[in-house]
Amino acid sequence: MGNKKLWISFAFIILALFPPLFLSQYWLHVMIISLFYVMMASSWNLIAGFTGQVSFAHAAFSGMGAYTSGMLTVYLGLPPWLGILIGTGVAALLGFGLGYLCIRMGGIYLSLTTLGFSEILRIIITNEDQWTRGTMGLQVPGFFVEYSKTSYYYLFLIVTILLLIVIYKIIHSEMGLTFRAVLNDEVAASSSGINTVRVRVLAFAISSAMSGLAGGFYGHYLMLITPDVPSLGQMFLVLAMAVIGGMGSFAGPIVGSFVLEILSEYIRVYGEYHVLLFGLIALAMARFAPEGVVGILRKKWRREWA
Amino acid sequence: MGVIIEGKGLTKSFGGLTAVKKVDFHLNKGEIVGLIGPNGAGKTTLFNLMSGVYHPEEGTLSFNGMEITSLKSFEICRLGIARTFQIVRPFLKMSCLENVLIGIIGRGDPREGIKAKGEEARKLLKFVSLEGHEKNSANNLTLIEKKRLEMARALATQPRLLLLDEVLAGLNPSEILQALELIEVIRTQLKMTIFWIEHVMGAIMKASDRIIVLDQGEKIKEGRPEEVVNDSKVIEAYLGESDA
Amino acid sequence: MSELLMYLTNGIVIGVINAISAIGVSLIVGIMKVVNFAHGELYIFAGYFSYHLSVSLGVPPLLAMPLSIFLIFLIGIGMERTLIRPTYGDEMYSLIITFVLSIVLQNAALLIFGPYPQKPPNWVTGAMNIFGLYHYGNQRILSFFISIGVLLSIFYLIKRTWFGKSIRAISQDREMAALVGVDHLKVNMLAFGLGAALAGAAGVVLSPIFPVTPSGSSSVSLNAFIVVVLGGMGSLKGCVVGGLILGILENLGAAYISTMYRHIFGFIILILVLVFRPWGLFGQKTQ
């Protein structure tokens, strides 16, 4: 990591320590949700932006994490952290299994199958209500004996930062290099000795595990898990955050998550139009500025400073 | 001098078109063999079969006595066959150093540290005269530089057999001389066997030990360069091609 | 016994309509390598168009049908021109764009048509006794025969006309097709329109039997995708056989195992295909 980047990151982390001192409970909640989306969009970006594979099961895997941990804590009395750990493992295994099945057939198959998986998960969760409480939602214990948004904010901040560090390390490792090679040119990568299917499956499993982790924490914060967590609507929001923020860059999904989550709080006043609006913006971005907001700003700054 | 690679009865078709038809060939260790033929003769398809991009419908391929017919590209590469592409395919959105690193990582040897790999990649870039371009994006290179970068990436996998697909195309005479020198160094110092496709006749005839000629997917001639240039079937095949 | 026969008949009727919808997806995948995730939304829109044309505007049902399909065809052309064409060769962006489009259209449908299921009026009423075994609704019988008619026209279009020949040329070898003078931009556009129109046709034919709702679109897309994978990417025959298999299994499964899990049978088929025969029943094992 360059020195400049290190200092900027450090400054952001210091700044991120202060919000609980002056934000209302409501906006603190928005911040916590934003941090959840940062985890979701950044880990989705790891496969989509860095290996070029589009998974539509990212929200579904977060749901796997949330429901697994939720049910383990409710029915078996496990502590949340252990539930989350197991939930993450379940998401990783499922991701590996699905990826192993369809990735050898190409990217289109992964997208089709993950979409199917999301739908099926929704149907199962809604119908098996003796376990999942269906659309009523499953009430799960929280992390802290005394509920406090401030505690949750710091918890989410720490987990998000750790996850981002892992993602940053992956991107800048040999594995990250092979991700990008596969994204750039699959035939050339394979002819250079890279097992492209293995790289793709690995990326998918890692990213799925991360969303399972994020979902686990999300569930124990909301303390009520509903089929909205693994829904395609949620999937769309995560995708829109990454696309609008900027796919294939580290900062893009982070920026996108905060901007869209905060924006949707303002739009919500006028009704449920935020999905339609974000959809149209995402379409325009994907069409005209695939490098996203971060890409546009970066270009602009480079032009002004160079 | 043992046989390094041998193909028997290789056949591959696309739709109704047979691109390679019952081709037998072999290369001896340390040889430099040219593969020529008019456009659409199936030369690149043969390379794609040898590097696992395609798999033949019929026939077998063996490398150092081991059957590789149905292996995947990366497996074949790890056994020791590396290639360049007719239309260059460097990783455009990656730096030159990263391009070469992929070849080194592709060897699948976890023992080497990242530092050693970086050093080796730098050396390889220097070997193909691309020093100073380490951090430059592959996209910013000229065509000739891209070809050299691809060559470095292929060499990074430490192949025993190198498949070069029209590395001289688009180069001017002095660049061709440089490239030929490089190929000679690869052969003599790195002790690699070379199989190359080329349209620049003077160069390939001068530098090859042996020539294999394909026409419409079939092998029509094989022999020393001077035998091949005077062969009536070969002349006929080339005369049929208006721009040869 | 007659119960089983009835479920089988239902399966076949649905299966043929499945096939039409799946051919719409398959055509587009075959020549452009683009999966249209907004397929189900086009189906839903067609259902609503045909409902509003006949109920709100008083257009006779048999005219409302082709008119709705034509409108969907135009929407498909518009989609291709504005959003899909720039993504050719970039699989990732085409997947993202059609997915986002599906969400946008779904929300637009909710906004325009409301959340309530709607059903165009039946074209015919009553039921018919089939071989003295059981009674079967005339509407379903008519839907079935119209679907067969649509299927036959598609086969004719693809096997016999210049358009079909161009489509096959492009799906086999894009460069070769360009060399022999096929205008692939035009063919792509028409094929995308046709793919959309087929989603519309399925929607129009099926909506008098199963009312459409904005939230029902994803299962329509999913059914089509499952059929395409089951039959083999790019195979017309595969779409018909796959459509029938899925239709029959879903109906039998819903009747004898669980209605709630109707869609799960399809997903199980998808997974089984991926495990045992990933290139599908009639697909080609590539390379």
C172 with B55: Cβ contact below 8 A: no
Asked whether the predicted pLDDT for residue C173 surpasses 60, the reply is: yes
Distance CA C21, CA C23 (A): 6
Residue of C nearest to B15 (CA): C172
Q: How confident is the model at residue C264 (pLDDT cuts 50, 70, 90)?
A: confident
HSE (side-chain half, CA atoms, 13 Å) at A273: 8
Can you tell me the distance from the alpha carbon of A21 to that of C2, in angstroms, rounded to the nearest whole number?
72
Q: Which residues in A lie closer than 8 A to residue C277 (C-beta atoms)? A: none
Those residues whose C-beta lies under 8 Å from the C-beta of residue A219, and which sit 6 or more positions away, are A65, A66, A67, A69, A70, A140, A225, A229
Q: How does pLDDT run across A6-18, given as a tens digit for each residue?
A: 888 888 898 988 8
**Could you read off the pLDDT of B77-133 as tens digits, one per residue?**
999 999 999 999 999 999 999 999 999 999 987 777 778 898 999 999 999 989 999
Domain count, chain A: 1
Using the beta-carbon criterion (under 8 Å), do C287 and B14 form an inter-chain contact?
no
C286 shares contact with chain B (CB less than 8 Å): no
Q: Where are the alpha helices (DSSP H) in chain C?
A: 2-32, 39-51, 61-79, 91-113, 138-160, 162-172, 174-179, 184-206, 217-231, 236-256, 262-276
Q: Are C16 and C147 in contact (CB under 8 A)?
A: yes
Q: How many C-beta neighbours within 10 Å does residue A215 have?
A: 34
Pick from A11, A28, A13, A43: nearest CA to A253: A43
Q: Which of A99, A44, A19, A18 minimizes the C-alpha distance to A252?
A: A44
Give the amino acid at C20: I
- Confirm if B7 and B213 have CB atoms less than 8 A apart: no
Predicted local confidence at residue A211, as pLDDT: 97
Min Cα distance B15 → chain C (Å) is: 7
Token pair, residue C229, equals: 């994978």
Average pLDDT, chain C: 88
- Residue B54 at interface with chain A, using a CB cutoff of 8 Å: no
Q: Between A123, A124, A286, which is nearest C93 by CB? A: A286
Q: Identify the segments of chain B with pLDDT beneath 70.
A: 1, 15-16, 239-244
The mean pLDDT value for C84-91 works out to 85
The CA distance from A206 to A212, in Å, is: 10
B27 reaches A (C-beta below 8 A): no
List all residues 6 or more positions away from A52 whose beta carbon is below 8 Å from its beta carbon: A107, A182, A183, C91, C92
Residue of A177, A180, A191 with shortest CB distance to B83: A191
pLDDT value at A116 more than 90? yes
Q: What is the share, in percent, of chain A residues with pLDDT greater than 90?
A: 75
Q: So what's the pLDDT on residue C176?
A: 66
Q: Which of A108, A120, A286 sits opposite C100 (nearest CB)?
A: A286
Q: In the prediction, which pLDDT does B15 show?
A: 67
Residue C229 scores a pLDDT above 50: yes
Task: Report the C-alpha gap between B51 and B72 in whole angstroms.
Answer: 8
pLDDT in tens, A185-213: 999 999 999 999 999 999 999 999 999 99
Between these two residues, C164 and A91, which has the higher pLDDT value? A91
Is residue A176's pLDDT more than 50? yes
Q: Is A212 a member of any domain? A: yes
Q: Do B15 and C172 touch (CB under 8 A)?
A: yes
Query: Quick one: pLDDT at residue C7?
Result: 87
**Contact flag A192-B108 (C-beta cutoff 8 Å):** no
> What is the pLDDT at residue C287?
45
Q: Of the candidates A188, A189, A194, which has its C-beta nearest B85's C-beta?
A: A188
Residue C260 has pLDDT above 90, yes or no: no
What 3-state class would DSSP assign to A82?
helix
Which residues partner with C137 through β-bridges?
C127
Inter-chain touch B14–C173, beta carbons under 8 Å = yes
* Whole-Å CA distances, A266 to A78, B42, C25, C196: 38, 62, 38, 36
Q: Do C287 and B54 touch (CB under 8 A)?
A: yes
- Give the pLDDT mean for C9-20: 92
Q: Does residue A136 lie in a domain region? A: yes
| Cβ pair B106:A185 closer than 8 A | no
Summarize pLDDT for C62-78 with one digit per residue, the tens: 899 999 999 999 999 99
- With beta carbons less than 8 A apart as the criterion, state whether A83 and A57 touch: no
Q: Are C221 and A115 a contacting pair at CB < 8 A?
A: yes
> What is the C-alpha end-to-end distance of chain A, expressed in Å?
22
Task: Give the residue from A46, A47, A120 with the most C CB atoms within 10 Å of its CB, the best one to mutate.
Answer: A120
Give A188's contacts in chain B (Cβ within 8 Å). Answer: 85, 89-91
* pLDDT at residue A1, as a whole number: 56
Domains and CATH numbers, chain C: 2-276 (1.10.3470)
Give residue A226's pLDDT. 94
d(CA A121, CA A125): 6
- Model pLDDT, residue A305: 65
Mean pLDDT score across all residues of chain A: 92
CATH code reported for the domain at B1-80+161-180+193-244: 3.40.50.300
Domain, as residue range, for A67 = 23-229
pLDDT of residue B241: 58
Give all chains having 3 or more CB-to-CB distances under 8 Å with chain A: B, C
* Category of A137 on φ-ψ map: left (φ > 0), alpha (ψ -120 to 50) or beta: left
For chain B, residues classed under CATH 3.40.50.300 are 1-80+161-180+193-244
Q: Which residue has the higher pLDDT, A33 or A270?
A: A33
- Contact at CB, B108 and A193, closer than 8 angstroms: yes
Determine the pLDDT at residue A6: 86
User: Cβ contacts (< 8 Å) between B160 and chain A: which residues?
Assistant: none
Q: Is the pLDDT of residue C249 over 80?
A: yes
The answer to whether the Cβ–Cβ distance between C261 and A123 falls below 8 Å is yes
To the nearest whole percent, how much of chain C has pLDDT over 90? 51
Q: How far is A13 from chain C (nearest CA, A)?
A: 32
Q: Is residue A269 part of a domain?
A: no
- Which residues, other chains included, contact B117 with Cβ-Cβ below 8 Å and sequence gap of 6+? A174, B101, B104, B105
Using CA atoms, how far apart are residues C53 and A276, in angstroms rounded to an integer? 25
CA distance A86 to chain B (A): 30
What average pLDDT score do residues C194-214 get? 92
Average pLDDT over residues C237-260: 90
> pLDDT over 90 for what percent of chain B?
55
Q: For C93-118, write each residue's pLDDT tens digit.
A: 999 999 999 999 999 999 999 888 88
